[in-house]
Amino acid sequence: EKFSVGEFDDASDLYRKAISSAHAHRFFHEEAVACELASAFFIGTKGREESLELLKRAMGCYQLWGACEKANALSVQIEACDAKEH
């Protein structure tokens, strides 16, 4: 909701809190989804580097959770983004 009304700083804080809470409680699946959604948000607001870091973190969380196909799909996406950068 914060994003849709242009409150980007508040939205950013909420994404970070969601990621932190999921991590603290060892909810890998929730952390993965939060990181992936935050990555999409940050690509438009904070930039490519932070977005890629969140995608990498999401990939690791999906792997820990056992969602290997999802992790592989993110790996391909990350490689494509890295190739565009160089």
Residue 35 has pLDDT above 90, yes or no: yes
pTM: 0.84
Q: What is the mean pLDDT of residues 31-45?
A: 91
Helix, strand, coil distribution of the chain in percent, nearest 5:
85, 0, 15
Span 53-72, pLDDT tens digits: 999 999 999 999 999 999 99
